[in-house]
Structure 1
Amino acid sequence: MKKMLCRLLSVLGLAALAGCGGVPVEKYAAQKPVLDLKQYFNGPVTGWGMFQDRSGEVIKRFVVHIDARWQGDTGTLDERFEWSDGTQTRRVWTLRHLGDGRYSGRADDVVGEATGEARGNALRWRYVLALPVDDTVYNVDFDDWMYLIDDKVMLNRSAMSKFGVHLGEVTLSFTRGAP
């Protein structure tokens, strides 16, 4: 019993440490071009992406068409996904610019509030997604990084985890403007 408890505590400790690492968004403060979400996500944006499981196998591919609009400090991103298995889904984000490069956001399948911080050409966006798999919904942590390449192209990489255990990654390339 004591050995099992020690193993459990070790696993939990490693999971906690895994969540502490990483590059702070401030590291990108001097990078150009500067990412302004209100400017980039304003009008049509198209993204091409894939989900890879923890072994690196591509499980699903997708195209997302985004209609993005801002009124003052409130933005709406209406995302329509076309998945490689023929299914279609929709997510509508409501974003708020909080000042000083900070953002918050909500969507129907996001648990609570998403938080984001932009510095230089990068944005770190964190949230919990209610992810349906078969007949069960799992709350999965997303650590989402976006990097502005130029005025039209942005790359996005998201790490998915549950209880600190890496589940997979989502990789996207966005292009601003009509495809």
Structure 2
Amino acid sequence: MFARLNTRWPRLAGLALSAPLCLALLSGCASPTPADYASQTPVLDLRSYFNGPMSAQGLFTDRSGKVVRRFSVALNGRWEGDEGVLEEDFVYSDGERQRRVWHLRQLPDGRYTGRADDVVGEAVGQAAGNALNWHYTLRLPVDGTVYEVQFNDWMYLMDAHVMLNKAAMRKFGFQLGEVTLAFYKP
């Protein structure tokens, strides 16, 4: 019996030693949270940044990383207290134009909500430090069909003028692609 145990011991010991390593690797794959950026500056205040005119340039990449579409956006925001309106006018590289009007609300503790005509339900967001993380479902028209696509949208304030935005798009849990956007506020 001991001989049998001795032959199994190296495998058991290897498993026991590799379990903490596996847990450490898996915990390293955890998604970031807004709290991870709480100490980062400059502090992002949506009411301040999305107030007045600004512009943005962006692109959509598919799962493989290939650029599928490029676009420009003219934006204009205004706030009254904790309620804001952000108008976005998109012009795509193929000439298509699109307009989205966000109705935003600032809540306590860095939380935000937003609504737009092509957003299903309500977007929810959390800001901390220089970052904001939005989650929402967007009705996305593609070749005459409208798909409901989930966005995990991260915005990072770089300085008083520049904010970078990276959004992962998913459908049924599968990543469809990413949107990368650079905002510029004069």
Residue 154 of structure 1 corresponds to 163
| TM-aligned CA deviation for residue 100 of structure 1 | 1.1
Aligned to 1:106: 115
Partners of 1:86 and 1:122 in 2: CA distance = 32
Residues 77-135 of structure 1, C-alpha deviations (whole Å, 9 max, x = no match): 00000100001100000000012100000000000000000000000011000001112
Is 1:165 aligned with 2:174? yes
Q: Give the counterpart letter for 1:88 in structure 2.
A: R
Higher relative contact order (CA 8 A, sep 6+): 1
Kindly indicate whether residue 48 of structure 2 is the aligned counterpart of residue 39 of structure 1.
Answer: yes
**Post-superposition CA distance 1:26-68 (Å, at most 9, x none):** 0000000000000000001100000001011101000000010
Instruction: State the TM-score, normalized to the length of structure 2.
Output: 0.84
Task: Confirm whether residue 138 of structure 1 aligns to residue 144 of structure 2.
Answer: no
2:87 pairs with 46, 68, 78, which one?
A: 78
Distance 1:68 1:33 in 2: 20
CA-based RMSD of the aligned residues comes to: 1.2
Query: What is the DSSP-based 3-state SS (H/G/I as helix, E as strand, rest coil) of the residue aligned with 2:107?
Result: strand
The structure that has the greater radius of gyration is 2
Question: Could you tell me which residue of structure 1 aligns to residue 138 of structure 2?
Answer: 129
Corresponding residue for residue 6 of structure 1: none
Amino acid at match of 2:76: D
Aligned letter for 2:75? I
Unaligned runs of 5+ in 2: 1-28
- Tell me the residue number matched to 1:95: 104
Q: Percent identical across equivalent pairs?
A: 61
Structure 2 partner of 1:119: 128
Residue of 26, 45, 54 corresponding to 2:35? 26
Specify which structure has the higher proportion of helix: 2
CA distance in 1, matches of 2:146, 2:175: 17
Q: Distance in 2 between matches of 1:134 and 1:62?
A: 18
Aligned residues: 159
Secondary structure of the structure 2 residue equivalent to 1:38: helix
1:144-178 alpha-carbon deviations (Å, 9 max, x no partner): 0000000000000000001110000000000012x
Partners in 1 of 2:129 and 2:46 — Cα distance?
A: 12
Aligned-partner SS, 1:100: helix
- Whichever residue aligns with residue 163 of structure 1, its letter is F
Paired with 1:135 and 1:154, the residues of 2 have a C-alpha distance of 33
How far has the Cα of 1:21 moved from its partner?
3.7
Distance 2:48 2:87 in 1: 16
